[in-house]
Amino acid sequence: MTDKFDKEPADGKPSAGVSKEGTALAPEAIKAIPVRHYGRWISGVIVLGLLALLINAFATAKKINWGAVGDYIFDPTVLAGAGRTLLISILAMIMGVVLGVILAVMRMSKNPVTSSVAWLYIWIFRGTPVYVQLLIWFNLALVFEYLNLGPFYKDEMVQVMTPFMAALLGLGLNEAAYMAEICRAGLMAVDEGQTEAAHALGMSHGKTLRRIVIPQAMRVIVPPTGNEFINMLKTSSLVYVVTYNELLRATSTIGSTSYAVMELLFVASIWYLVMTSVFSVFQYYLERRFARGSLRQLPPTPWQKVKANLISIGGRERGASA
C-alpha cells in the first residue's frame, strides 16, 4: 500500500535505433560470449557425486528390504493412516484458522476485556509444547470425570475425549494461537486509509473488516498459513501419543510386527512427502489468487512458463529458417 501510484509506465519515450534520416533501422542483435560460471559447474558435479554415494549406500544396504517398501506403500492400513493424517490436519487447521481470525480480531479490539482474553489464550497455547497439550487433553478424564455443560450436555469424559477429540483439540487449539499472530500481522499490514475510506462511505466495522480489510490481509496471511498447514501435516505425527491411528502409528505398528521398522518409516516418509508436495503446489495457486490487484500482471503459472518457453524456442527456429 505504498507508493504504487508513482510508478507510471514510461511509454512515449523515443525508441532507440532510429537513424538520423528518420528511417527506423533494427539495431544489430548483440552476439556476446556469456560469462562462464565455472564455480556453478564444479559445485554441481560435487553435489551430484555426493548424492549418488548416499543413494548408493541406502540402495545397496543389505539390511534394508526395499521390496517391503513396495509391498506396504499401498497397504490398506497405511492408506487409512495417511487418510487420517490428512483428515486430522485439515480439521485442526480449519479450527486453527477460524479461531485464529477471531482471536486476532479480539486482540485488536478496543474493548480491554476482549483483547486481554485473546492475549491470555495466545500466551498459554504458544508458551507450552503442543506435545504436552495433547497429553493434557488426552488425560483430562483423570481430573474431570464428567463433561457437564449444564442442561445441554452431560457425559463421561472418557466417552468424550476419544483419541480423535484429543488430537483435534490438541492440534487445533494450539494452531489457533499461531494463526492469531499471523492474522494480526496481516490485518495490521493493511493501510489505515482503507478502513477510513470504507468508514467514510458509511460501511460498518464488520462490513469494512469482511469486504475491505480481510481480503487485503489475505495476501499477507496466505503464505505463512500454507507453511503452517505443511507443518501441521508433519506435526500431526505427534498425535501418535494419544493413540490416534494416523500414518506414523499405522506404519509403526506394521513395522514392529513384521520386523521391517526402517522400511515402514520410509513408507511413512514417502506419504508425508507426497502430501506436503501436493499442498505446496496448491499453495502456489492460492497465493497467486490473492495477489489479484496488487500486481500489474500476475506471475505466470509453472505450466504457462513451460508453454511460453516452448513457443519462444519454436518461434526462434522459425525465424532462423525464414
Partner 1 sequence: MTAMVKAEGVHKAYGAVQVLKGIDLEVQTGEVFCLIGPSGSGKSTFLRCINHLEKINAGRLYVDGELVGYRQKGDKLYELKDSEVAQQRRDIGMVFQRFNLFPHMTAAENVMEAPIQVKGVSKSQARERAHELLTKVGLGDKAGNYPSQLSGGQQQRVAIARALAMEPKLMLFDEPTSALDPELVGDVLDVMRDLAESGMTMVVVTHEMGFAREVGDSVVFMDGGVVVESGNPREVLTNPQHERTQAFLSKVL
What are the residues binding partner 1 (CB under 8 A)?
1, 4-6, 8, 191, 193-194, 196-205, 207, 211-212, 215-216, 292-296
Q: 1 or 94, CB closer to partner 1?
A: 1
Nearest-angstrom CA–CA distance, 295 and 176 = 30
- Between residues 114 and 276, which has the closer beta carbon with respect to partner 1? 114
Minimum distance from CB of 301 to partner 1 (Å)? 19
Cell numbers at 138, concatenated: 488426552
Q: How far is the CB of 98 from partner 1 (least distance, A)?
A: 22
Comparing CB distances to partner 1, the nearer of 145 and 196 is 196
Cα separation, 259 vs 83, whole angstroms:
24
Closer by beta carbon to partner 1, 154 or else 205: 205
Question: Residue 270 and residue 67: Cα distance in Å, rounded?
Answer: 15
CB of 200 to partner 1, least distance (A): 4
Q: CB-wise, 188 or 201, nearer to partner 1?
A: 201
Give the C-alpha separation, 322 to 309, whole Å.
Answer: 20
Output the smallest distance, CB 193 to partner 1, in A.
4
Kindly calculate the radius of gyration of the chain based on its CA atoms and give it in whole angstroms.
28
Query: Helix H segments across the chain?
Result: 38-60, 66-73, 76-107, 112-127, 130-138, 157-160, 163-189, 192-200, 205-207, 214-235, 247-257, 261-290, 302-321
CA 140/CA 33 separation, integer angstroms: 71
CB of 284 to partner 1, least distance (A): 19
Cα 185 to Cα 124, 173, 221, 300, distances in angstroms: 19, 19, 8, 27
The residue among 91 and 203 lying less far from partner 1, judged by its C-beta, is: 203
Burial class (CB in 10 A: 0-12, 13-18, 19+), 105: buried
> Could you tell me the sign of the dihedral formed by the alpha carbons of 70, 76, 80, 83, in that order?
positive
CB of 207 or CB of 288, closer to partner 1: 207
Query: Which CB sits closer to partner 1, 165 or 286?
Result: 286
Residue 99 CB, nearest approach to partner 1 (Å): 25
Shortest distance, position 199 Cβ to partner 1, whole Å: 7
What's the closest the beta carbon of residue 285 comes to partner 1, in angstroms? 17
- With a CB cutoff of 8 Å and minimum separation 6, the contacts of 277 are none
* Smallest distance from partner 1 to CB 196, Å: 6
Q: How far apart are CA 275 and CA 254, in angstroms?
A: 21
- Contact criterion met (CB below 8 Å) for 260 and 68: yes
Which residue, 136 or 286, has its beta carbon nearer to partner 1? Answer: 286
